Amino acid sequence: MAKISSIPVRVALLLSALLSSVFLATALISQYGFGLHPCDLCIYQRIPYAVIIPLGLVGVFLIKSWRGRYVIAIVCALLFLLDAGIAGYHAGVESGIFKGPDACSSDGGTGQTLEEIRAAILNAPLVTCAQAMAYFMGLSMAVWNMIAALLSFFALSIVLLKNYKTKL
């Protein structure tokens, strides 16, 4: 079995694109297959994966230089880290550590007219960011996403560090 440090950057980019595809497919299957409606932060967590997929594939199939692939791999690693940050923030909102974005909550204002209350109900988010839709082994999906993104970031960072040292 090959060590992670011996993986070439091109293979790491392909694995990054594949992992991001799996993570994104898991989110979409949860939404459309199991009816777990995403909140705004759930949607934001999908964006880095959606960027990593084509970026990784471009690095694998279109970029011929080692330096170009290396730069793309750095960007992919930073996108994994960004996703982990969004997921960590989301987990903090779910546990009450952080206040969620305004789009994820209702202010519950009082003293409004009937039309204002009706408009507030119709414009309210389907799912709040503070309520986890599902738990697996005691952890919310946001926490699992944070773990997956952090592991992906660290693995790709190790590959990048080892490949940089060997190319000097």
158 and 2 Cβ atoms separated by less than 8 Å? no
- 139 has pLDDT over 70: yes
Instruction: State mean pLDDT over 17-28.
Output: 95
d(CA 84, CA 157): 14
d(CA 47, CA 93): 19
Percentage of the chain exceeding pLDDT 90:
50
- 89 has pLDDT over 70: yes
Structure tokens at 23: 């993570």
Query: Which class does domain 4-100+129-167 fall in?
Result: mainly alpha
Three-point CA angle 83, 8, 165, nearest 5°: 90
Q: For position 2, what pLDDT does the model report?
A: 58
Q: At what angle do helices 66-94 and 40-61 cross, to 10 degrees?
A: 170
